[in-house]
Homo-oligomer: A and B are copies of this chain.
């Protein structure tokens, strides 16, 4: 652990931020983004082997947690106990874990925890626009394209997009999508996620990309997100940090902190 900044050297109006998982690939980008941002100070970089007590010693008001499902619950229990807000990008939260967080937060009602499956503002907007547009079109399909070292297909973002599109179509009473395919090779028409076809491309040189293609008679609308660099998480994490003090309790999804219409 590294105490980056003592409490006395930080301007009193700055948000004091500690990063858990500070030496990971994403964590180190987050440290850089917090350091460069106006209105906040990086006061501790914590990683495996460091004591959480350093959060208290550094006077951190909020942590960013990009660690591991095995340790994140211990981290959050410590933070909530000490009234430290948390902006969390670590994965692996099921209903049991979320209920546990709510119980802990009930005993510390001024503390906020944001669990965000995705800190990319572009990806959040893509999902939102896709769901908003879906009822106006007959067909919606998703093509997601990633580097070939990715383990899962489709990506989590593609699955989530498909679910949001399917919900929007159900709410609007949309008819089933047209598809006259009568002769197909296995897999040609993609995976079926809640009725939405999803196609996963894995090509060397790609990073993380997704296209949602919506169509009706005579026209198509395509919403594409390209994530070319982990630095793309920075603005989303900063938005989370800026909103956390005014959002006590548990929030799931960064979109609730963004000033989005609709």
Contact = CB atoms under 8 A, between A and B. Distances in A.
B139 A204 contact: yes
A52 interface: no
B193 A206 contact: no
Contact of A151 (B123, B182, B192, B206): B182
Interface stretch (A94-102, A128-136, A241-249): A128-136
A129 B133 CA distance: 10
A191 to B, nearest CB: 4
Contact of A201 (B133, B148, B199): B199
Contacts of A217: 204-205, 229, 231-232, 234-235
Which of A190, A223, A225, A258 has the most chain B CB within a 10 Å cutoff?
A190
Kindly state the interface size class of chain A when it binds its partner: 35 or more
A227 B218 contact: yes
A47 interface: no
Interface in A117-174: 120-123, 125-126, 129, 132-133, 136-141, 143, 145, 148-154
Interface string A83-125: 0000000000000000000000000000000000000111101
Interface stretch (A9-17, A53-61, A207-215): A207-215
Interface string A190-202: 1111000111111
A219 B227 contact: yes
A25 to B, nearest CB: 13
A205 B187 contact: no
Contacts of A227: 218-219
Nearest to A217: B231
Contact of A187 (B190, B224, B226): B190
Interface of A: 120-123, 125-126, 129, 132-133, 136-141, 143, 145, 148-154, 177-193, 197-207, 213-235, 258, 260-262
